[in-house]
Amino acid sequence: MGKAHMERIAGFTSTGSKRPEVFFGGADSSLPLRMAASSGCRVWDAEGREYLDYVMALGAVALGYAHPEVTAAVVRAVQQGGVGPLAPVLEEEVAGEICRLMPWVERLRFLKTGAEAMAAAVRLARVATGREQVLGCGYHGWLDWCQSDSAGVPAGTKALYGEVPFNDPDRTRELIRSAGDGLAAVVFEPVILCPPDPAWLAVLREETERAGALLVADEIKTVCRLAIGGGAERYGYRPDLVVMGKALANGFPLAVVGGRAEVMDGVTRTWISSTLATEFVSLAAARATLEVMVGQKVPAHLSSVGGHLLSGLEALAQRHVGVVLGARGIAEMCFLESRDQALSARVAAACASRGLLFKRGAYNFVSLAHDRATVDHTLGLLDEALAAVGDSSPNRLSP
């Protein structure tokens, strides 16, 4: 591929987390920068080199790349035209299946990206309450409503958004109370490095009700991973709206905003619509994904194999104290925190040179395609990579 061609994409790639500086701390020709194909938990780069992968499309793939049942469903949908002039039969069918599996979702709308579905949830909360202020906790996508320091976002929009701290019940209560009757919604990610404290969840539910605001769970990366119904199923909270994406369609572009019928019926009082929200290739992918998720109890597999990975990472952190501060996250989404950015970049590069794509400072994800033997092999590669980086580090600490 010619250099001129490589420079046509502003900022190297359209997905921020796939930039070489994020992945490896910089670009260099020995590193995998662009990929050509993926299957199961394997990826092939532009030079044809094979990697064992834990990025799993940033958590969008929980069954493994090119899962045969999803691929077959997608090919069928493509052959059936994939899109057309009318609402597809599959739209209502997949919605019915989601509502059956997650009874706290009474009605829903499909969209394409997580950010879009989050923006729809916030719009619906503003419609339902007639208020504008929103408090958030976690990452909710790139759109204007939740940016506090991105360039190009109007100051008036930024002023409508604030943050509440994860797992801090007292401060969260205080912030919700001080937003008072201007508050439309609190939106939260259920897991930020660790599980939610039940006391924090209780404050979110009680205080939003008390304020007359809605509670919105951002389950974009937790749905079909912590449980089929995400954090709401695992931890038992009941938000007014939930937003889902990523693993729901095993990497095909589909997101959902759903929840209480009376809130969802607000769609008739505002404008939420997108031309390709009703293409049915992704809906076919979601139907097949949900079938495999339920039939093969995929979340239980992710918990077991991910638990094996996390305990291995904890052991590695003890062995390589000169490089690593500790293992972070939960079984299904975890990583090693290095002592500094430079070390973490060298670890990521040392992993890649051993055929392993392993995120630094951000979640790695297991899938149905990873098993205990894969994880054991991975832990061996990580051990080698950490030893190589530790041995060549100018400020070596003895373990």
Ligand X SMILES: Cc1ncc(COP(=O)(O)O)c(C=O)c1O
Q: Looking at 61-69, 218-226, 306-314, 371-379, which segment touches ligand X (CB under 6 A)?
A: 218-226
Single out the residue of 220, 242, 248, 336 in contact with ligand X (rule: CB under 6 A): 220
| Helix intervals (H) in 239-333 | 261-264, 281-295, 298-319
**Residue from 91, 132, 207, 218 that binds ligand X (CB under 6 A)?**
218
CA dist 111 and 93 (Å) reads 16
| Nearer residue to ligand X within complex by CB, 141 or 169 | 141
Task: Specify whether the CB–CB gap between 236 and 229 falls below 8 A.
Answer: no
Burial of 391 (0-12, 13-18, 19+ CB in 10 A): exposed
Distance of closest approach, residue 95 Cβ to ligand X, in angstroms: 19
91 or 219: CB nearest ligand X? 219
Between β-strands 161-163 and 133-137, what pairing exists: parallel, antiparallel or unpaired? parallel
Instruction: Tell me the closest approach of the beta carbon of residue 96 to ligand X, in angstroms.
Output: 24
Question: Is the Cβ of residue 118 or residue 351 nearer to ligand X in the bound state?
Answer: 118
Site for ligand X in 56-95 (CB under 6 A): 58
User: Does 245 participate in binding ligand X (rule CB under 6 A)?
Assistant: yes
Smallest separation, CB 388 to ligand X (Å): 31
What minimum distance in Å lies between the beta carbon of 243 and ligand X? 7
Buried b (16+ CB within 10 A) or exposed e, 305-331: bbbbbbebbeebbeebebbbeebbbbb
Cβ proximity to ligand X, 57 vs 179, nearer residue: 57
- The residue assigned the tokens 């205990």 is 372
Closest of 307, 287, 303, 304 to residue 295, by C-alpha: 287
CB nearer to ligand X: give 113 or 364: 113
Q: In this complex, which beta carbon is closest to ligand X, that of residue 243 or of residue 352? A: 243
Minimum gap (Å) between residue 218 Cβ and ligand X: 5
- With CB under 6 A as the contact rule, which of the stretches 89-97, 156-164, 213-221, 234-242 interacts with ligand X? 213-221
Residue 50 and residue 352: Cα distance in Å, rounded? Answer: 10
Nearest distance, CB of residue 15 and ligand X, angstroms = 8
Binding string, residues 315-354; x marks residues near ligand X by CB under 6 A: ----------------------------------------
Between 138 and 182, name the residue whose CB sits nearer to ligand X.
Answer: 138
* Binders in 101-160 for ligand X, by CB under 6 A: 113-115, 118, 138-141
Minimum distance from CB of 252 to ligand X (Å)? 12
Residue indicated by tokens 């995929």: 298
Q: Which is nearer to ligand X, 63 or 187 (CB)?
A: 187
Q: How many whole angstroms separate alpha carbon 231 and alpha carbon 278?
A: 27
Cα angle 118-14-229, degrees, rounded to a multiple of 5: 35
Q: How many chain residues interact with ligand X (CB under 6 A)?
A: 14
Which residue has 């400020």 as its token pair? 395
Minimum CB distance to ligand X, residue 244 (Å): 10
Residue with smaller CB distance to ligand X, 239 or 390: 239
CA nearest neighbour of 213 among 187, 243, 191, 242 = 187
What part of residues 22-61 is at the interface with ligand X (CB under 6 A)?
Answer: 58
Residue 189 found at the interface with ligand X (CB under 6 A): yes
Name the residue nearer to ligand X (CB basis): 248 or 263.
Answer: 248
Print burial letters for 175-196: b (CB count within 10 Å at least 16), e (below 16). bbeebeeebbbbbbbbbeeeeb
DSSP states of 79-137: HTTS--SS--HHHHHHHHHHHHH-TT--EEEEESSHHHHHHHHHHHHHHHHS--EEEEE
> How far, in Å, CA of 378 to CA of 355, rounded?
10
Residue nearest to ligand X (CB): 114
Q: For helices 281-295 and 298-319, what crossing angle results, to 10°? A: 80
CA distance 192 to 180: 26
| Spatial distance between the Cα atoms of 267 and 109, rounded to a whole number of angstroms | 9
Beta carbon of residue 333, minimum distance to ligand X (angstroms, whole number): 10
231 is an interface residue for ligand X by CB under 6 A: no
By the criterion CB under 6 A, which residues form the site for ligand X?
Answer: 58, 113-115, 118, 138-141, 189, 218, 220-221, 245
